[in-house]
Chain A
Amino acid sequence: MSDNPAIDRIQEEIDANSVVLFMKGSPMMPQCGFSAAVVQALTMMEVKFKGVDVLADDEIRQSIKEFSSWPTIPQLYVKGEFVGGCDIVREMHESGELKKLFDDKGVEQAS
């Protein structure tokens, strides 16, 4: 538990879901090109993920930046670990590192 209830809620999401994307908008309707790019990469890999819309919750929107020492959204978490934002996810997707990460962490994806 921390002093900030929003931080606890973020931790709960990350604990409860193998792959969590904090994003602007929903996976079906991203409200920002950077969030959309990460959704697209995950969708192409057929990875199941939980999208958390920070636009719907200002406390989460502010606290997620503190949580990860990362100033921007989207933010991708896999099995509790912060993987990166849009640039890092894109780079890892193109190089095959993202697939390897999902393999190593036992995350189900398209074969």
Chain B
Amino acid sequence: MAMQAAEIEKLIKEGIPDAEVIINDLAGDGDHYAAQVVSAEFAGKSRVQQHQLVYQALQGRMGNELHALQLQTNAPGEA
């Protein structure tokens, strides 16, 4: 099972409305993605908490339909 990049982006934006999301399909197989997510909600949170927010937005798909999503999260203005 695989997910489309647009669907991943839509779910993240529904969960984190101000998120800027860039998704790369790493292997071109619809199964290995990298996502960069920037949101003001991440400010002051640890990386674990930031990634947990993204996983929550994906509503259990991570680790199931979505096998591999390399995540990079930042608050606006962070490197």
A2 within 8 A of B: no
Q: Are the C-beta atoms of B52 and A70 separated by less than 8 Å?
A: yes
Distance in Å from the Cβ of A30 to the closest Cβ of chain B? 15
Chain A interface size band reads 10 to 19
Chain B facing A: main interface SS:
mixed
B62 within 8 A of A: yes
* B67 and chain A: residue at smallest CB distance: A72
B72 within 8 A of A: yes
Determine the chain A residues whose CB is within 8 A of the CB of B72 once the complex forms: 87, 91
Distance in Å from the Cβ of A106 to the closest Cβ of chain B? 20
- Of B47, B48, B55, the residue contacting A71 (CB under 8 A) is B55
Determine the chain A residues whose CB is within 8 A of the CB of B62 once the complex forms: 71-72
Q: Would you list 24 pairs from A and B whose C-beta atoms are within 8 A, ordered by A residue?
A: A34-B68, A65-B63, A69-B52, A69-B55, A70-B48, A70-B51, A70-B52, A70-B55, A71-B60, A71-B63, A71-B64, A72-B63, A83-B48, A84-B48, A84-B51, A86-B70, A87-B51, A87-B70, A87-B72, A88-B47, A88-B51, A91-B47, A91-B72, A92-B47
